Amino acid sequence: MSKKCRKKSVCAVVVMVAMLCISGCGSGKIKSDKVLRVGVVTYTQDDPFINALADKLKENLKSMETEDMKITVSVKNGNDDQQDQNDIVEEMIDAGCDVLCVNLVDRTAPSRIIRLAKQNDIPIIFFNREPVWEDLMQWEDLYYVGCDAEQSGVMQGEIAADYIKNHPEVDKNQDGEIQYVLLEGEAGHQDAISRTDFSVKTLIEKEVNLEKLSYQFADWNRGQAENRMNRLISQYKDGIELVISNNDEMALGAVEAYRKAGYEQAEWPVIFGIDGLDDALEAIKAGEMQGTVYNDKEDQALQIAKLAVEIFRGEDVNRNKLKEGRYYVSEYQPVYSSNVEDFIKRQTR
């Protein structure tokens, strides 16, 4: 290499390093500017659980600002379309960000997002919609914050079984079997699959005799669940004794359907959800729902925020505690009429 050429390549390296420092888009290991820019992309704008989690996340990140580190947060959604979400992630990267928090539209299709992030050296914390293990292992700066869906299914089954054992009147026609319908979240979602499976298995293990009337997908959505339940109520009249729902929004859709169908509350089936959203806690208090399982959005939001800051600062206090160095698993908690007030108080604090 000629002297002139060598000088040129040294210059090019110096310029590249300087540009990296200025853009602040690296993995955070070397930082000259102290602004942490976090890009949050949810799968839709219409999911109350996800919106509540994203609000908490924003709040937590803002509260973690220090004198020497400003934090900016940009929250967007993927319009329920994986292509759109990929484009939004690309725009966020182009606009400049240090850490991405992604709630995938399709948890089996994160490849383009991972490729983009890796090319630009921007760590991703996936949340709520879990990529498969092989995808998460594609690169060392990929993380996941969520829950163990099986645990929520088991808890829901236990709460329902206890309630049914203590309230023989649930078996309205006294035939020794509980006629039930199940409202399912979304085909392919890890939570829908395991919750459906384990809530029913647990009820059976607890020796509740079940008769399945119908399983209906309602995409986690209150309105869709109400429609499905309207049809089932027309078909079975007051013959449904138990509604098991993969989440609270759909359980509240069932409540709405019974309210509008004009049945007295005493004729309603017992209804169980998952999430512990404010409306569901109120419905339990009012006796319209009998239980739910608290999906700790506050804990998940806090862990995502802590991880984002740590990654940016190049620290690993919390990262050290992650399962396989990648997974944070939040604990679910059972909610029923006797402890619902504690959860309501927690929300208003």
- Is 191 one of the binding residues for ligand BGC (CB under 6 A)? yes
Name the pairing type of β-strands 70-77 and 35-42. Answer: parallel
Query: From the list 194, 295, 303, 330, which residue makes contact with ligand BGC (rule: CB under 6 A)?
Result: 295
For residue 206 the two structure tokens come to 């607890």
Q: Which is nearer to ligand BGC, 199 or 295 (CB)?
A: 295
Binding mask 214-233 for ligand BGC (x = CB under 6 A): ------x-------------
User: Nearest distance from residue 247's CB to ligand BGC, in Å?
Assistant: 4
C-beta atoms surrounding 166 within 10 Å: 8
- Is 128 one of the binding residues for ligand BGC (CB under 6 A)? yes
Q: Which is nearer to ligand BGC, 46 or 65 (CB)?
A: 46
Residue 333 pairs in a beta bridge with 294
Q: Which is nearer to ligand BGC, 99 or 277 (CB)?
A: 277
Distance (Å, rounded) from C-alpha 177 to C-alpha 209?
5
User: Nearest distance from residue 44's CB to ligand BGC, in Å?
Assistant: 8
User: Nearest distance from residue 87's CB to ligand BGC, in Å?
Assistant: 20
Half-sphere exposure at residue 195, Cβ-oriented, CA atoms within 13 angstroms? 31
Question: Which residues touch 71 (CB under 8 Å, ≥6 apart)?
Answer: 35, 36, 37, 38, 61, 62, 64, 65, 309
What burial class does residue 168 get, using C-beta atoms within 10 Å of its C-beta: 0-12 exposed, 13-18 middle, 19+ buried?
exposed
Enter the DSSP assignment of 1. -
Q: Which of residues 250-279 bind ligand BGC (CB under 6 A)?
A: 274-275
- Is 144 one of the binding residues for ligand BGC (CB under 6 A)? no
3-state percent helix, strand, coil for the chain, nearest multiple of 5: 50, 20, 30
Q: Which is nearer to ligand BGC, 235 or 347 (CB)?
A: 347
- Is 77 one of the binding residues for ligand BGC (CB under 6 A)? no
Binding site for ligand BGC (CB under 6 A): 47, 49-50, 128-129, 191, 220, 247, 249, 274-275, 295
